[in-house]
Amino acid sequence: MNPSSILKSIYQHPQLNSAASEEIIKAHKKVFFKKGEIILKEGQQSNAYYCMESGLARAFAVNSAGKDITTSFFSPGNVVIEVASLFLRVPTEENIEAVTACECWKIDFSDFQALFEKIQGFSEWGRTWMTNSLLENKLRSLHMITDSAKERYLRLQKEQPLIIQQAPLKQIATYLGVTDTSLSRIRNEVAKEH
């Protein structure tokens, strides 16, 4: 199976030459998930991560009241991963689920770890990836504080329109930190304004 341009773009980095990124890419295998399929379940230990080729997935946490809160969405070009469980080698407290049918490139932790130590520049690649994740997360917290529900919705619509189109309202609502009722009203209001 040929590696896709998406997979190549994920491993694009100033400190990874083409031989290195090719070797990394070779360690990935194509896998598929059906709509609704659980990719990682709370309590399990994560032993791999996935590069998203097509489809949409989400991570969610279940709070004490049994309510599920979407904590992130994974679109094509994103790395589908539960960082804490994978790198700290502990059971995950989150779930990852395929929102639509997904096509992914899987790499096992043991293969990743071997390449991480072997390949010059792979740790810098990882550091850059982590840095960007951290940045995104910080922005998410910040917007949660400074922006209204409507502003958060509009930002998501602008920056990640595919999520709005593909995920059910309830999942988007918990991701934005509002109830589904409120999001429905916001959506209505936005539609009225054209």
Catalog residues that contact a copy of itself under the rule CB under 8 A.
Answer: 61, 63, 67, 69, 71, 83-84, 87-88, 116, 123, 126-128, 130-135, 137-138, 140-142, 144-146, 174, 177
d(Cα 18, Cα 16) in Å, to the nearest integer? Answer: 7
CB of 84 to DNA, least distance (A): 26
Cβ-based neighbours of 91, under 8 Å, separated by 6 or more: 42, 43, 44, 45, 85
Under 8 Å between Cβ of 107 and 42: no
Nearest CB to a copy of itself, comparing residues 134 and 190 = 134
Binding segment (CB under 7 A) for DNA, from list 69-77, 109-117, 155-163, 168-176? 168-176
Under 8 Å between Cβ of 24 and 118: no
Among DNA, a copy of itself, none, what binds residue 168 when CB lies within 5 to 8 Å by partner kind? DNA
CB of 34 to a copy of itself, least distance (A): 27
CB of 168 to DNA, least distance (A): 4
Cα dihedral value 115, 121, 122, 124, nearest 10: 150
Per-residue tokens: 23:
């070797």
Binding segment (CB under 7 A) for DNA, from list 21-29, 45-53, 135-143, 177-185? 177-185
Rg for the chain (alpha carbons), in Å? 18
111 part of the interface to DNA, by CB under 7 A: no
